[in-house]
Every structure is written in structure tokens, then in C-alpha cells.
Structure 1
Amino acid sequence: MKASGTPAGGRKKSKEWFEALMIAALFAAVIRVFIVESYRIPTSSMESTLMAGDFLFVNKFVYGARVPFTDYRLPSFDEVEHGDIIVFKYPEDRSLNYIKRCVALPGDTLEIRNRELFVNGSRVPLPEHAGFLRQMAPPGYAESQIFPRFSGYNKDQYGPLRVPKQGDEVPLDAMHLPLYAAIISYEGHALSVSGDRVFLDGRPAETYRVEGNYYFVMGDNRDNSLDSRYWGFLPEGDLVGQALMVYWSWNPNLSFFAPMEKLSSIRWERIGLIVH
């Protein structure tokens, strides 16, 4: 019989430790991919609801987590609701995650009048910690960066605009192309224009039937948010999850080379904050 201190006994313990570590790493990976993931707030677009330097837990299974390296999503446990704070792939660069508040669902009609949000004709109160930084843009003043191009809208005077819903039949003409071109491309179709005629996948078309659901999102910091007012509708397939809780928060502008200042910037009052 070999003594417990022999090389064979040491190799057995090392193997057991290695197996335990691999199992723990596998469980951690499954949790991160399918259940809960950490997310850091990089900008001030959601202030003061969320602050730059907040670290969040994001619920990924609630809307159906995506299986890595595929287009398949697991079944969802809930649907996006008005007011949910959601994390999603930025449609213009899907390597980036963004976080905003969902203000309109598929099929809703949205309008902003003098900074006040209306959905389906009903006024939506400003979120508790939301606000504005700059002077209100007046009616009739067009912002060139606003979606859709040439609409004449601005960040404070916007719409009315219907958010596309699966099954909607939308017109294809020069007036409506800036509104729907991105979602048609996202859904895998080719658009082209010749004179006054629109071609869909090489064939003349006057209408298009929307294949998926879309959302309209805005930042709570309404004057400093790159949101749907600027880049358009959020595809359901780009949803990542719902923000849950702030588990850490400090000043992101302070360097780690000044550790005492960095530690003194910890926002203890925000740790454990439920996001809503």
C-alpha cells in the first residue's frame, strides 16, 4: 500500500483539484452566457437613474438568451414591457452593448411634443431620475442626425412614428425608405431604387411585410443619449437582457494609480440598488 504522501497520491489530489476547477469554470460560463452577466455603465446616457461607473447584473434568460455561435435563442420567460431598462446589441455596431429604457413596443405609435413623450396618444411621465441638460429644441427645427433622415424631427419634437410589428405591411416608396431600409436589410433582403421604383430582392415592390418585432428605446438623460431617435428601431434579436441590480459603483474617471482616491470614490449608497 502506498503512503498518502507518495507522488501517486499527490497526482490524484491534483487531478481532483483540476476537475473541480474545470466544473466550476463550466458552471460560471453557463451562468454568464445564459442566466446573469455583469455589465459596466460606460457613459452618462442613463443618468441619474444609472451612473457612469455603475456595475450591474443583467438578467439574460428573461428574454431568452442566445446560444453562442448560432442565431438560436432559448425560450423567453417574459416579454419586454414599457419602461424596462434593457441591454442590447447596438444595431450599428453589434460588438457593442448599449443600455436604454424601452419606451415603445412593437405596434405602438410614439410621439414627442415639447419634450413630453406620448405612446398611443397617452402621456408617459418622465422617469423619476430622468432629465434634460440643454435648451428645448423648438417645433419646426430639423436635426440632420435624427432618424429617419429628412423627417424634419428633432430630439424634443418627434413623430408620430409607428414602431414596426411582425406582420405589418409597410409602403415602399421614396418617402418611406429611410424609415424601413435598415430593418429590411436586417431581415436579409436587398433594396435598390431606380427612378421612382423600389426593388426588393431584384423585383419591383410597393409594400413589404415586416418579419420581426422592433422596439423604441431612449436614455433617461434625454439630451445626452445616442438612442432610437438617432439610429432607429431596435430588433428583437438584438436583446441581451434586463438590468437587475447595481452591485458596485465608483468614479470611472479616477485612475487605479491613485488607489486611495479611487477607493474613496466608491458610491456605497448605490450598491444593492434595484434598477427600475
Structure 2
Amino acid sequence: MNTQKGKPEKKHSREWFEALVIAAIFATVLRVFVVESYRIPTGSMENTLLAGDFLFVNKYVYGPKVPFTDIRLPGVDKVERGDIIVFKFPKDRSLNYIKRCVAISGDTLEIHDQQLSINRKPVPLPEHGQFIGVKAPAGEGDYMIFPQSSTFNKDNYGPIRIPRKGDVVQLTAATYPLYSSLVADEGHDVSLQGREVFVDGSPAQKYTVQDNYYFAMGDNRDNSLDSRFWGFLSEKDLVGQALVVYWSWDPDLSLLTDPIGKVSSIRWTRPGLLIH
């Protein structure tokens, strides 16, 4: 009797276990290839996105990457100017960043007196974009700005062309700060010896770009660590496109130490907000 009763119970437990495994696999595939949750950690996109916003990111649209490889599956769309994108931070790929793509491969970007222009056409500040700092004068270089040793600053920048796959760029002592990190990220050993550039141990005057690149900026223009500071964004570092805010509250309050304050900080107007 006990043996006969035990068999259905074991079968029932096994079915539950199999269902949980299948659900876990499905959730993992969904997270890796289709959609993933992301939390806004800083104010670099204010007031478009706020620190403490939780959002869904569409990883399928640009083509998801196969984990632990550089293989990218086909996407359904290309990155367009104005897209809000999530990407691996080129200087530390363990971190995800979110910014607005303001220029795509082949574009020429320039900022004059805070006015962004792409291919000589002025681009308006995003609807919720803002400037909160002191305006930097033209010609006053900033050592933190990319490329180093230029006369660029956060408010006066360029003109600079965004590299495109197949571009042949000149490698000189003058262009070394502009292209050295790009060449290195594409898998080469690059160095400047005297006034001559060496790639993989040999003198090189030219280099053929192997990937498409983008230029990303935060909507909070004076409080954003973006392409103005670290350079071009490689297509291989794209994660996906921001879709919708599904939750939002004050990130500075702790649910453990101040549960009432944390719950009271819920921003009820933000869940369901489409990101654009």
C-alpha cells in the first residue's frame, strides 16, 4: 500500500521539478536574448530618466549577443540617432551604461556653445534634457575630454567623424589620441614611438576600421560621463534599446532601515512610461 501511494507522489514531484527547470531555462533565454531589466543608477539622463527608475531593455532589436562570445545574432533594426541605448561601458565592460545615441557611424559631430550639430545640422536638446553647470568657453581644452590634448570641452567639441566599418584612418602622432583605443579594442597592439605609430610591432600610417561606432551622450549634459569623455562606442558593446519604465522610487532610501519612507517615495506617475 505505501509503495503504491509513493509512486504517484514521486511522479508528481518530478513533474514539478521538470516544470521549474523548463521555466528557469525559458526565463534565462528570455533574459539573454529578448528583454532584460535595468536600473538607472545615476542622474546622467535626467529628466528623461531618473535615478531609481527600473526599466525593460529590448535586447532583440539590435541583435542579441551569444553569451561568452563576440557572436551577435541578426537584429530587426539598426541604431538610429535619438535612440536611448544600453551598452557595455568601453572602459569597464562589467558595467552597463545608458545614454542617448546622438551620432551614428559616418556622421560628423560638432558642439558649439552647447549646441549639438550632426552633419552641420543643429540637433535640438531632447524634450527633458538640461544643462545645470557653468558653460565652458570655446578653445579652453579639458584634459578629461576625449581625445586628450585637444582643445575640446563639454560645450565646444569637434568637429569629429564617427568611424564606420571600412573607413581608412590616418595614423600619425596627431591622430594617435583619437584612434589608439579604437585600434587596441579591435585586438591590436598599438603604440607611439617618437613621432611614428606602430601596430602589432610594425610601423603603420593607415588603419582600416573593423567595426561600426556610435557617439553617446546623456540628456543631463553637464552631469554625464559619456562619449565626450571616453570616446567612440563600438557596435559590439551594444546591449539593447530602452523600452519602458516599470517601477520607480528614491534610490537613496533603504527599504530595510526606512520602509515607510521607501514606500512613500514610489513615483506612481512613472510606471508604464514609454522611453523616447
Q: Same fold (TM over 0.5)?
A: yes
Question: In 1, Cα distance between the equivalents of 2:223 and 2:192?
Answer: 35
| Secondary structure in structure 1 of the residue aligned to 2:31 | helix
1:54 matched residue in structure 2: 53
How big is the shift at 1:194? Answer: 2.3
Query: 1:85-116 CA deviation, whole Å, 9 max, x = no partner?
Result: 00000000000000000000000000000100
Distance in 2, Cα, partners of 1:202 & 1:242: 39
User: How many percent identity over aligned positions?
Assistant: 62
Task: Give the equivalent residue in structure 1 for 2:132.
Answer: 133
Aligned residue runs from structure 1 range 126-275, under 5 A: 126-256=125-255, 257-275=257-275
Tell me how far apart the structure 1 counterparts of residues 2 and 100 of structure 2 sit (CA, whole Å).
63
Q: CA RMSD in A?
A: 1.2
Distance (whole Å) between structure 2 residues aligned to residue 193 and residue 182 of structure 1: 12
- Residue 192 of structure 1, CA deviation: 2.1
Runs (5+) with no aligned partner, structure 2: none
- The alignment's TM-score, normalised by the length of structure 2, stands at 0.98
Shift of 1:3: 8.4
Distance in 2 (CA, whole Å) between partners of 1:135 and 1:110 is 22
**More displaced stretch, 83-92 vs 187-196:** 187-196
Aligned length: 275
1:106-128 Cα shifts (integer Å, max 9, x gaps):
00000000100000000000000
Q: Tell me by how many angstroms 1:64 deviates.
A: 0.6
The match for 1:113 is 112
Aligned to 2:87: 88
> Which stretch shows the higher mean deviation, 65-74 or 111-120?
65-74
Letter in 1 for 2:274: I
1:52 Cα shift? 0.2
Deviation at 1:46, TM superposition (A): 0.2
The one-letter amino acid of 1:200's match is V
Alpha-carbon shift at residue 140 of structure 1 (Å)? 1.5
Structure-1-length-normalised TM-score: 0.98
Partner deviation per Cα, 1:180-233 (whole Å, 9 max, x = no partner): 001100111111222222211111111111111000000000000000000000
Contact between 2:176 and 2:192, CA under 8 Å: does it hold in 1? no
**Which amino acid letter does the alignment assign opposite residue 247 of structure 1?**
Y
Amino acid at match of 2:117: F
Cα deviation code 1:149-168 (max 9, x no counterpart): 00111000000000000111
Runs of 5+ consecutive residues of structure 1 not aligned to the other structure: none
Query: Who is 2:28 aligned against?
Result: 29
Moved over 6 A (4+): 2-5
Q: In the alignment, what sits opposite 2:8?
A: 9
Could you say which residue in structure 2 is the equivalent of 1:42? Answer: 41
Choose 190-199 or 51-60, whichever is displaced more.
190-199
Match of 2:97 in 1: 98
In the TM superposition, what is the alpha-carbon distance from 1:135 to its structure 2 partner? 1.5
Q: CA deviation at 1:4?
A: 11
SS in 2 for 1:55: strand
Question: C-alpha distance in 2, partners of 1:197/1:129?
Answer: 46
Kindly provide the CA deviation profile for residues 210-261 of structure 1, in whole angstroms up to 9, marking residues without a partner as x: 1110000000000000000000000000000000000000000011121111
SS in 1 for 2:269: helix
